[in-house]
Amino acid sequence: MAQNDEFIREVDEEYRRDRIAQIWQRYNGIIIGVVVLIVVGVGGWRYWQHRQQNLAQEAAVRYEEALRLSSDDKGQEAQAAFENVLKEDAGTGYAMLARFRLAAELGQQNAENGATAFDALASDASVPPLWQDLARLRAAWLRLDTAEPAALRQTVEPLAAPANAWRHSARELLGLSGLKAGDMDYAGRWFDQIAADRETPAALRQRLAVYTALVAGGPVQVTQ
């Protein structure tokens, strides 16, 4: 019985070897082609990953250099550097960061030009909603001294909602708009919300003491 089992196993193995040989003879070109495609595909993917990593590193260097120029108060050079990031690194995260920094640089030179650049970011569908809200807020800050209070509040009040990531800055801006307009009730409502929010940043709480004192003092009376 054992000899029969051994014989059957040998026959079975020989049959399988013959079948494998037949399959190889018939499909060896296809098999080799598939293997080559897999190897080339993996190699291409690895190359693409390496290339993207190098591009990201190059973009980071250009962006850091633009930031350095900005911190050194070299406005024109910084602006040109951020524009270069936009040209060389379009489609990367650094390109969007550069657009925000470029708008900020423009705002330092001319508030309305900077606000207009932030408006473009806020209306750009390719910019994530979170960053569109930030662009709206930055534009409003630049227009605090020039915009009609009603127009500014219409833009900023939705950003002061409890779930909004930028609510702290939005509430501060709205409170300041009330102070500038002499509307202490309006200003006080927003400053109260700042005080009640447990997540209000410490630096803003320090400024809040000054704001609430101004509200308590009432509108400034201008005398001749």
Q: Which of 127, 143, 159 is the last residue of a domain?
A: 143
187 occurs within a structural domain: yes
Of 128, 143, 158, which residue is a domain's last? 143
- Residue 63 has which token pair? 């962006």
> Is 214 within a domain?
yes
Helices (H), the chain: 2-71, 75-88, 93-109, 111-122, 129-142, 149-156, 167-181, 184-196, 202-217
Contact 121, 135 (CB under 8 A): yes
Tokens of 55: 């591009």
Of 102, 142, 103, which Cα lies nearest the Cα of 156? Answer: 142
Domain end marker among 143, 161, 184 = 143
Structurally, the chain folds into a number of domains equal to 2
The pLDDT of residue 222 is 39
Alpha-carbon distance of 124 to 114, in angstroms, equals 16
Domain limits for position 94: 72-143
3-state SS assignment for residue 179: helix
Q: Is residue 23 part of a domain?
A: no
Whole-angstrom Cα distance, residue 129 to residue 201? 23
Residues of the chain with pLDDT under 70: 1-29, 31-37, 39-60, 66-67, 69-70, 72, 75, 86, 88-93, 219-224
Q: Which residue in 73, 72, 74, 97 sits closest to 85, CA to CA?
A: 97
Q: What is the pLDDT of residues 129-167, one digit of tens each?
A: 999 999 999 999 999 999 999 999 999 999 999 999 999
Specify if 35 maps to a domain. Answer: no
Considering the domain boundaries, does residue 38 fall inside one?
A: no
Secondary structure class of 85 (helix, strand, coil): helix
* The predicted structure's pLDDT at residue 223: 40
The pLDDT score that the predictor gives to residue 80 is: 76
pLDDT at 194: 96
Which pLDDT score, from 0 to 100, does residue 198 have?
Answer: 94
Task: Give me the residue label for tokens 């003092």.
Answer: 217
